[in-house]
């Protein structure tokens, strides 16, 4: 099926920053005659990728940082460089907890943290459990695996629109089941997309959409465990549960480090789910940071403040990622000793 | 609980199981009842959780409007294919479909080609700045999309004003944006894949007279087809499902499905049956493609992301 031999290093995830094997062999020694061309070649191959990354990611990022120091509003869209300089005003506005903007930003940030922790935790738990339970063949496994990948494959908006239909107050499935069929929650139908409940509605959709990715990655990791380990353990009398605890779970450990980080970044930055579920302004209980910044910039047309918030968000994510990599790498180093 | 020797310690080779092992080594093949029960319960609940929205999407798309406007019914009172006809008239769905196809298709093709070259360079060549390149490319993965949205919006508007090249509101601008979204992941995954192709193979090809590009096209790419397919699927899904940039960077003529689908809500009515029918129609190409190619994707992830 695949040309990939089970790599011995397959259980050690490459840290973002790629320790992707440098081509030590072949290059380096005994340079062939066409040496000049050989040196230029890799750069030529990289050029399109580099240009695009510059245009779409790096230049906008620098611009965003510059814009965060200016009073950029709708009047300066035609010539953004003409926007008056604001110094740290936008940042002060964003972090000043005594004013509505800063207070709302903090609330939104805390909501996002709570949401991300719960969503990543649940996605990881469900995905890992499903992968472990489906490691061994049983009747219907192929069908189930295909089914479980459906939420991942569905376009976000199609899936989230369906959920928003299910959460409708009067004609939704959720209230029909909770109130009409189970008789829970009193006579009045619950609002799911307004007020405090919106947090749980959002979390449900996020987990539904997100866990198959964890399932996919953990399944891939489990395929790399040599069968002999299980056979040896079975010969030694270890039961299925013991094998799971002592072989399966420890083997996916290193993969989890990358998986959790990726899930964290995706969930924290997720815009699509709340945007399709709630529209341009989410209820306060589910006001995730990306929607909040979107609203500050494109609805109230204050690009300067929006940029400052984006930069703060980026700094936070950088800090968390760096800390996370330090901790997990440090631990892996300990394991190796 | 199955026969275990010392709970909590790894049974050594000399420890004797309480029960005689069956002739076939007791292994993954016959798990105990407790495992099978927990597995059955868990997987059933999970399947229900996954299926309910799919069921709602499918059945509601076949209901008359009065059925989806009233109390929810698990089983429709009457079936009609009317929504599937109406979806094309209520909003210009066909136009949105074409826009999405063009944008996602072009972004996928460009992203795969560019990623193949970049990954080949990183996998097979030594050059200065390699580490900087991989780190930069990968770290863009973590940036919030909202951070690029504002400046990119300004860049596109300003390029339009000064040069007359309409990027803002055009498909080209969206294609350009989307192809960079999947690029970092594609490059990363393909590096892993190319690394797994034995270097001796393309070195042999070069000895036989191929240039480095000849070796790439004749040896490395054919050997890495599963990885390339996986990357293409990923790029297409990313572009097909993107909402944020599509909602800011498109106009009436270039709107994609991601934004267009919201048009089924009018002032008075929300045509839920049509929304569900349209959702199903736009989902089928991606879900079908994905399920057909899922083996490649899992293999690709094994080689790339899980390394």
**What number is the average pLDDT over the span B43-47?**
95
Q: What angle do CA A131, A325, B242 make, to 5 degrees?
A: 60
Q: Which of residues 228-287 of A touch B (CB under 8 A)?
A: 230-231, 233-243, 246, 255, 258, 262, 265, 268-269, 271-272, 275-276
Q: Which of residues 279-298 of A touch B (CB under 8 A)?
A: 289-290, 293-294, 297-298
> Which of A244, A328, A286 is closest to A15 using CA atoms?
A328
Q: State whether A155 and B257 contact (CB < 8 Å).
A: yes
Q: Among all residues of chain A, which has the CA nearest to that of B118?
A: A46
DSSP string spanning B217-264?
A: IIIIHHHTHHHHHHHHHHHHHHHHH--HHHHHHB-TTT--HHHHGGGG
Q: In this predicted structure, what is the pLDDT of residue A102? A: 85
Counting every residue, how long is chain B? 307
Chain centroid to CA B113:
18
* A chain contacts of residue B192, beta-carbon cutoff 8 Å: 14, 20
Tokens of A226: 């040599």
| Distances, alpha carbon A150 to alpha carbons B54, B97, B229, B287, in Å | 9, 21, 18, 7
Q: In this predicted structure, what is the pLDDT of residue A201? A: 94
Q: In this predicted structure, what is the pLDDT of residue A212? A: 94
DSSP string spanning A221-284?
A: HHTTS-HHHHHHHHHTT--HHHHIIIIIHHHHHHHHHHHHHHHHHHHHT--HHHHHHH-SS--G
Which residue's structure tokens are 């999309």?
A: B145
Q: In this predicted structure, what is the pLDDT of residue B289? A: 87
Report yes or no: A197 and A207 within 8 Å, Cβ to Cβ.
Answer: no
Strand partners, B250: B169
Q: State whether A79 and B158 contact (CB < 8 Å).
A: yes
* Cα–Cα dist A49/A51, whole Å: 6
User: Among A187, A237, A277, A325, which would you mutate to test the B interface (most chain B Cβ atoms within 10 Å of its Cβ)?
Assistant: A237
**What number is the average pLDDT over the span B31-59?**
92
* A chain contacts of residue B120, beta-carbon cutoff 8 Å: 45
DSSP string spanning A150-165?
A: HHHHS-HHHHHHHHHH
User: Among A24, A43, A45, which would you mutate to test the B interface (most chain B Cβ atoms within 10 Å of its Cβ)?
Assistant: A45
Q: In this predicted structure, what is the pLDDT of residue B15? A: 46
Residue B9 has pLDDT above 70, yes or no: no
Q: State whether B56 and A298 contact (CB < 8 Å).
A: no
Residue B1 has pLDDT above 90, yes or no: no
Q: Among all residues of chain A, which has the CA nearest to that of B280?
A: A158
Whole-model pTM: value is 0.82
* A chain contacts of residue B133, beta-carbon cutoff 8 Å: 46, 50
pLDDT, tens only, B111-133: 999 999 999 998 888 888 888 88
The mean predicted confidence, pLDDT, of chain B is 82
- Could you tell me the sign of the dihedral formed by the alpha carbons of A230, A233, A237, A239, in that order? negative
Q: State whether B140 and A57 contact (CB < 8 Å).
A: yes
Q: In this predicted structure, what is the pLDDT of residue A331? A: 62
Q: State whether A48 and B117 contact (CB < 8 Å).
A: yes
Q: In this predicted structure, what is the pLDDT of residue A108? A: 92
Q: In this predicted structure, what is the pLDDT of residue A129? A: 94
- Give, as one character, the DSSP assignment of residue B164: -
* B chain contacts of residue A268, beta-carbon cutoff 8 Å: 144
* More confident call, A98 vs B99: B99
pLDDT, one tens digit for every residue, chain A (337 residues):
334 343 333 333 444 443 444 444 444 445 555 555 567 888 888 888 888 888 888 888 888 888 888 877 777 766 667 777 777 888 888 888 888 888 889 999 999 999 999 999 999 999 999 999 998 888 888 899 999 999 999 999 999 999 999 999 888 888 888 888 888 877 788 888 888 899 999 999 999 999 999 998 898 888 878 888 888 888 888 888 888 888 888 888 878 888 898 899 989 989 999 999 998 888 888 899 999 998 888 777 788 888 899 899 989 998 998 888 888 776 654 544 3
pLDDT, tens only, B138-179: 777 777 788 888 788 888 888 888 887 778 878 888 999 898
Chain centroid to CA A121:
12
Tokens of A332: 């892996």
Contact status of A51 with chain B (Cβ, < 8 Å): no
* More confident call, B292 vs A300: B292
Residue B10 has pLDDT above 50, yes or no: no
Q: State whether B140 and A129 contact (CB < 8 Å).
A: no
* Cα–Cα dist B159/B300, whole Å: 38
Cα-Cα-Cα-Cα dihedral of A182, A188, A194, A196, to 10°? -70
> Which of A256, A51, A19, A312 is closest to B138 using CA atoms?
A19
Q: State whether A271 and B244 contact (CB < 8 Å).
A: yes
Q: State whether A46 and B115 contact (CB < 8 Å).
A: no
Contact status of A8 with chain B (Cβ, < 8 Å): no
* B chain contacts of residue A231, beta-carbon cutoff 8 Å: 25, 27
Strand partners, A85: A70
Query: How many CB contacts within 8 angstroms connect chain A with chain B?
Result: 398
Tokens of A97: 């907890």
Q: In this predicted structure, what is the pLDDT of residue A57? A: 84
Name which of B34-43, B134-143, B178-187, B232-241 the model is least confident about: B134-143
Residue B29: pLDDT band (50, 70, 90) is low
Q: In this predicted structure, what is the pLDDT of residue A92? A: 84
Contact status of A141 with chain B (Cβ, < 8 Å): no
B169: helix, coil or strand? Answer: strand
- Could you tell me the sign of the dihedral formed by the alpha carbons of A39, A40, A42, A43, in that order? positive
Residue B304: pLDDT band (50, 70, 90) is low
Q: State whether B35 and A64 contact (CB < 8 Å).
A: no
Q: Among all residues of chain B, which has the CA nearest to that of A175?
A: B72
* B chain contacts of residue A53, beta-carbon cutoff 8 Å: 136-137, 140, 180, 183
Q: State whether A241 and B34 contact (CB < 8 Å).
A: yes
pLDDT, tens only, B188-222: 888 888 888 888 888 888 888 888 888 888 888 88
Q: In this predicted structure, what is the pLDDT of residue A33? A: 53
Q: In this predicted structure, what is the pLDDT of residue B14? A: 44
CB-nearest to B42 from A129, A156, A298 is A129
Q: Among all residues of chain B, which has the CA nearest to that of A218?
A: B306
**What number is the average pLDDT over the span B88-92?**
89
Q: Among all residues of chain B, which has the CA nearest to that of A158?
A: B279
């Amino acid at each position: 099926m695949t040309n990939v031999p089970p790599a011995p290093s397959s259980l050690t995830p490459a840290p973002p920053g790629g320790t992707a094997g440098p081509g030590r062999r072949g290059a380096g020694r005994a340079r062939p005659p066409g040496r000049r061309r050989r040196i230029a070649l890799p750069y030529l191959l990289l050029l399109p990728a580099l240009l695009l990354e510059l245009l779409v990611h790096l230049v906008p990022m620098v611009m965003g940082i510059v814009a965060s120091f200016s009073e950029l509003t709708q009047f300066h869209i035609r010539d953004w460089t003409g926007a008056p300089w604001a110094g740290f005003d936008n940042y002060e506005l964003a972090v000043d907890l005594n004013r509505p903007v800063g207070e709302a930003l903090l609330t939104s940030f805390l909501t996002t943290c709570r949401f991300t922790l719960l969503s990543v935790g649940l996605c990881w738990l469900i995905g890992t459990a499903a992968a472990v339970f489906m490691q061994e063949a049983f009747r219907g496994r192929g069908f189930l695996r295909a089914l479980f990948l459906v939420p991942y494959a569905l376009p976000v908006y199609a899936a989230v629109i369906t959920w928003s239909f299910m959460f409708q107050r009067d004609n939704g499935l959720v209230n029909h089941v909770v109130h009409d069929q189970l008789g829970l929650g009193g006579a009045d139908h619950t609002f799911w997309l307004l007020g405090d409940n919106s947090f749980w509605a959002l979390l449900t959709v996020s987990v539904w959409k997100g866990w198959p990715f964890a399932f996919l990655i953990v399944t891939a990791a489990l395929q790399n465990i040599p069968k002999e380990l299980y056979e040896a353990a079975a010969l030694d009398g270890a039961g299925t549960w013991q094998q799971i605890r002592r072989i399966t779970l420890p083997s996916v450990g290193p993969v989890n480090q990358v998986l959790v980080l990726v899930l964290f970044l995706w969930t924290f930055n997720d815009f699509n789910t709340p945007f399709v579920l709630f529209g341009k302004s989410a209820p306060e209980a589910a006001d995730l940071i990306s929607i909040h910044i979107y609203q500050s910039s494109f609805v109230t047309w204050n690009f300067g403040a929006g940029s400052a918030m984006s930069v703060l968000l980026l700094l936070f994510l950088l800090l968390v990622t760096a800390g996370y990599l330090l901790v997990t790498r440090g631990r892996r180093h300990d394991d190796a000793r | 609980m199955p026969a275990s020797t010392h709970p909590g310690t790894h049974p050594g080779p000399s420890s004797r199981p309480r029960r005689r092992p069956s002739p076939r080594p007791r292994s993954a093949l016959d798990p105990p009842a407790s495992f099978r029960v927990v597995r059955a319960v868990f997987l059933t609940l999970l399947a229900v959780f996954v299926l309910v929205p799919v069921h709602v999407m499918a059945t509601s798309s076949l209901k008359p409007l009065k059925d989806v406007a009233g109390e929810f019914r698990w089983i429709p009172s009457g079936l009609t294919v009317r929504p599937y006809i109406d979806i094309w008239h209520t909003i210009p769905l066909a136009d949105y479909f074409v826009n999405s196809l063009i944008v996602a298709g072009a972004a996928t093709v460009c992203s795969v080609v560019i990623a193949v070259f970049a990954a080949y360079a990183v996998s097979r060549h030594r050059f200065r700045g390699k580490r900087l390149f991989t780190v930069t490319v990968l770290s863009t993965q973590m940036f919030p999309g909202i951070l690029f949205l504002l400046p990119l919006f300004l860049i596109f508007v300003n390029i339009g004003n000064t040069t007359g090249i309409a990027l803002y509101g055009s498909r080209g601008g969206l294609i350009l944006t989307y192809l960079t979204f999947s690029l970092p992941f594609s490059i990363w995954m393909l590096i892993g894949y190319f690394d797994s192709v034995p270097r001796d193979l393309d070195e042999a090809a070069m000895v036989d007279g191929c240039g480095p590009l000849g070796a790439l096209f004749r040896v490395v790419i054919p050997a890495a087809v599963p990885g390339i397919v996986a990357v293409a699927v990923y790029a297409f899904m990313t572009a097909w499902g993107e909402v944020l940039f599509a909602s800011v960077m498109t106009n009436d003529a270039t709107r994609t499905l991601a934004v267009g689908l919201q048009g089924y809500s009018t002032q008075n009515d929300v045509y839920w049956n049509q929304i569900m029918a349209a959702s199903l129609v736009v989902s089928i190409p991606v879900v079908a493609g994905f399920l057909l190619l899922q083996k490649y994707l899992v293999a690709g992830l094994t080689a790339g992301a899980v390394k």
